[in-house]
Amino acid sequence: MTTVLDPTSESRAEQRELVTRPESLDGLTIGLLDISKPRGDVFLDRIEERLTSMGASVNRYMKPTFAKPAPVDLRHEIATSCDAVIEALAD
């Protein structure tokens, strides 16, 4: 029998339950996160139009660079001030 040492971090990602999908968007605040890829704004402008016409209010956010994860403060702000978030990838 051979014994080897575990090369991994020996940790597992924490599993979190998704929040319940809202029945309606009426009166909700939706965050739109632009990851700052070219023309992501084109897509998100259109989504904002659609959402506001459905009675939701929209907060717009932008990552400083698409090449890095969103800063913790930004994620916290979205989590505390929005009911749902849409993140746009674009190219």
Partner 1 sequence: MRSSAPLPDGLVAVVKQDCPTCVLVAPVLVDLADRSSMVTITQDDPTFPAAADWVVHDADLSLSWHNDIVTVPTLLRVENGIPVDRTEGWDREAWETFTGAGGLGPGLPDWQPGCGSLSVDPNLTDELAVRFSGSAMTSRRVEIAALEDEWEAMYDRDWSDGLPVVPPTEARVLRMLEGTSRDAGDVVAIAPPDLVECTVEKIAINAVMAGCRPEYLPVVIAAVEAVCSDEFNMHGVLATTMDVGPILIVNGPIRNEIKMNSGGNVLGQGNRANATIGRAVQLVIRNIGGGKPGGVDRSAHGSPHKLGLAFAEDEEGSPWESFAQSRGFSAEQSTVTAWCGGGPTIMVDQLSRTPDSLVRHFAKSLLTSVAPRMALMETVLVIGPEHMSRFRDAGWDRARFVEELETHLVIQTDDIVRGVDGIDEGAAPEMAGNVISKFWPGGIHVVHAGGQTGLFSMAFGGWIPPPKGSVCTTKEITR
**Does the protein bind partner 1 through residue 2 (CB under 8 A)?**
yes
Provide the mask over 49-68, with x wherever binding to partner 1 is found by CB under 8 A and - wherever it is not: ---------------xxxxx
**Does the protein bind partner 1 through residue 10 (CB under 8 A)?**
yes
Burial of 41 (0-12, 13-18, 19+ CB in 10 A): middle
The DSSP annotation for 77-90 comes to HHHHH-SEEEEE--
Segment near partner 1 (CB under 8 A); pick from 4-12, 21-29, 49-57, 75-83: 4-12
**Does the protein bind partner 1 through residue 8 (CB under 8 A)?**
yes
The Cβ of residue 11 has, within 10 Å, a number of other Cβ atoms equal to 6
**Does the protein bind partner 1 through residue 69 (CB under 8 A)?**
yes
